[in-house]
């Protein structure tokens, strides 16, 4: 099948791209409509639509609306994750994935699977990817539009696993007046140990365990009293050494011109004893026609921020739309971070509101951890150990059986990541007393020198 001609990606927000280890473009995905499109296209390095690369389910005005990740164990294949807006009976997003085989079409790629439904719950515009602590697999996080539920999918050589579901952080509430938690970026720190999720009224900050996939140590950094629209947070980014978190509020003016307020770029000192109190104003956008958009950290250690025209569609080519702003020294606190407005020229092109969503592809194994070599506990034949937990649900005791010949370490965590029990697991079968645990969902992690595996159980 011959690729079709392609002109330009016009996505307002949702788009993603990926290159090889030398920075050479492999392919990218984005929308082609100028105003609120519902489908995207996968485009090869020659800027032609891949075979079967048309009509990818994605919504262009979705914050983290598309992300690309390589298959663990297969360097020629890639997942494209995208969220798609349903306008049937409820305002909600569905999560889909497509698969690119880059070895096809003479090395230019072919979309060999398209629009596979992964999650049909009411998810919001947040997607974030981070490499597993073993340096091979991946975690994919998203969040529902209601409640405080994260869905975390483990992507390994066997495919996309059923998600871990964790209840932690701000409880989102989708409503017309505030779209609380619907929009706004969710990003991991470069080392994968921290996660930030922002939205209208929300700045949530967590620790993340790359081995178990669990969030913990939640801190609310947003104000207790919401100021509308000054606290409509949208963009966020971590500094390279995770000493600072940058957050911006989204709008200076809505499409309808309801507001005429300044856009602000804020900094939080993550080394401070009271992180929320460390908030500093770094920059204010006084032009009510310009909005502060998405952030992206780059390999040069700088943070790039788009500050484009508010209101879509917008085909204006001027200084605002044809430049990105930069934070030159993002690990420095206060004005020493060296923010430069409209400092990076886009070479005659212009941007809307979003930047390509890219995880840290160069992140390696979590050295010295329990999972820094393989994705699961392995036997001598390099197969995953078989672990059984029963009864599940349980009331007073659970039985754990494992076919591993090695001594293991067992840990039990609650849904907020607190370790409730830790002990050696030296036999093939053990009984654990859980009568003192409150009812709810729990995670069991079994570690050995090669890696770790996580299972879930429910205490009734």
Residue 451 confidence class, pLDDT cut points 50, 70, 90: low
Check pLDDT > 60 for residue 36.
no
Per-residue tokens: 286: 């006084």
**C-alpha dist (Å) from residue 135 to 24, 156, 263:** 22, 11, 38
43 has a pLDDT exceeding 50 = yes
Of 238, 235, 220, which is closest to residue 265 (Cα–Cα)?
Answer: 235
**Tokens 């009734």 -> residue:** 460
User: What are the tens digits of pLDDT across the range 315-364?
Assistant: 777 888 889 999 999 999 999 999 999 999 998 888 888 888 899 999 98
Whether the predicted pLDDT of 4 surpasses 60:
no
Q: Which of 32-36, 160-164, 331-335, 365-369 has the highest mean pLDDT?
A: 331-335
Residue with tokens 């349903």: 86
Least confident of 233-237, 359-363, 445-449: 445-449
Whether the pLDDT of residue 415 is over 70: the answer is no
The answer to whether residue 206 scores a pLDDT higher than 70 is yes
pTM of the full predicted structure? 0.81
Q: Which residue has the higher pLDDT, 225 or 148?
A: 148
55 has pLDDT over 70:
yes
Higher-confidence residue of 102 and 10: namely 102
What confidence tier does 373 reach under pLDDT thresholds 50, 70, 90?
A: very low
pLDDT for 5 equals: 43
Contact between 166 and 144 under an 8 Å Cβ cutoff? The reply is: no
Longest dimension (CA), the chain: 69
The predicted structure's pLDDT at residue 110: 97
The domain spans of the chain are 15-345, 387-459
Q: pLDDT above 90 covers what percent of the chain? A: 44
Higher pLDDT, 163 or 379: 163
* Strands 419-425, 451-459: pairing kind: unpaired
pLDDT value at residue 226: 67
Residue by residue, DSSP assigns 49-110 as BPTT-SSEE--TT-TT-EEEEEETTEEEEEEEEEEEEE-SSS-EEEEEEEEEETTSGGGT-E
Instruction: Give the pLDDT score at 120.
Output: 80
Q: What is the pLDDT of residue 392?
A: 85
**How much is the mean pLDDT over the chain?**
83
Q: How confident is the model over 24-33, as a mean pLDDT?
A: 84
pLDDT at residue 252 in the model: 47
Highest mean pLDDT pick, 87-96, 139-148, 190-199, 260-269: 190-199
Extract the tokens encoding 358.
């890219």
pLDDT at res. 375: 37
Domain boundaries 15-345, CATH class: mainly beta
Kindly report, residue by residue over 67-103, the tens digit of the pLDDT. Answer: 999 999 898 999 999 987 766 545 667 899 999 999 9
Q: Hey, is 355 helix, strand or coil?
A: coil
Model pLDDT, residue 254: 45
Can you name the CATH fold of 387-459? Answer: Immunoglobulin-like (2.60.40)
């Amino acid at each position: 099948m011959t690729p079709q001609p392609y002109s330009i990606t016009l996505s307002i927000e949702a788009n993603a791209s990926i290159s090889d280890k030398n920075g050479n473009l492999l392919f990218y995905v984005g929308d082609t409509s100028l105003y609120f499109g519902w489908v995207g296209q996968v485009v090869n390095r020659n800027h032609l639509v891949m075979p079967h690369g048309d009509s990818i389910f994605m919504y262009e005005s979705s914050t983290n609306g598309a992300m690309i990740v390589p298959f663990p164990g297969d360097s020629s294949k890639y997942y494209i994750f995208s969220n798609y807006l349903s306008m049937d009976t409820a305002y909600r997003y569905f999560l889909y994935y497509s698969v690119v085989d880059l070895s096809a079409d003479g090395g230019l790629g072919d979309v060999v699977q398209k629009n596979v439904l992964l999650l049909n719950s009411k998810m919001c515009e947040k997607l974030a990817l981070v490499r597993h602590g073993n340096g091979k697999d991946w975690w994919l996080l998203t969040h529902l539009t209601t409640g405080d539920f994260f869905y975390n999918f483990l992507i390994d050589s066997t495919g996309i696993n059923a998600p871990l579901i964790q209840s932690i952080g701000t409880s989102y509430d989708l409503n017309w007046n505030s779209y609380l938690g619907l929009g706004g970026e969710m990003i991991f720190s470069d080392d994968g140990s921290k996660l930030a999720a922002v939205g209208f009224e929300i700045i949530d900050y967590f620790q993340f365990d790359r081995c178990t996939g669990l969030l913990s140590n939640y801190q609310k950094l947003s104000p207790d009293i919401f100021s509308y629209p000054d606290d409509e947070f949208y963009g966020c980014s971590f500094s390279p050494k995770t000493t600072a978190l940058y957050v911006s509020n989204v709008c200076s003016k809505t499409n309808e011109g309801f507001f005429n307020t300044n856009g602000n770029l804020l900094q939080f000192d993550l080394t401070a004893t009271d992180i929320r109190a460390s908030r500093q104003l770094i920059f204010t956008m006084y032009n009510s026609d310009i909005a502060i958009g998405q952030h992206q950290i780059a390999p040069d250690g700088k943070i790039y921020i788009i500050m484009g025209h508010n209101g879509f569609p917008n085909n204006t080519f001027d200084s605002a739309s044809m430049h990105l702003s930069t934070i030159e020294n993002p690990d420095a606190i206060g004005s020493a971070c060296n923010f430069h407005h409209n400092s990076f020229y886009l070479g005659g092109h212009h941007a809307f509101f979003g930047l390509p969503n890219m995880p840290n592809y160069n992140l390696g194994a979590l050295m010295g951890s329990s999972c820094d070599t393989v994705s699961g506990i392995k036997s001598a034949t390099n197969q995953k150990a078989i672990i059984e937990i029963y009864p599940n649900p349980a009331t007073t005791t659970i039985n754990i059986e494992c076919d591993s010949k090695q001594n293991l370490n067992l840990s039990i965590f609650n849904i907020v990541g607190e370790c409730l029990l830790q002990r050696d697991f030296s036999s093939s079968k053990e009984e654990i007393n859980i009568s003192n645990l409150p009812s709810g969902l729990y995670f069991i992690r079994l570690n050995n020198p090669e890696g770790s595996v996580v299972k879930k159980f429910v205490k009734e």
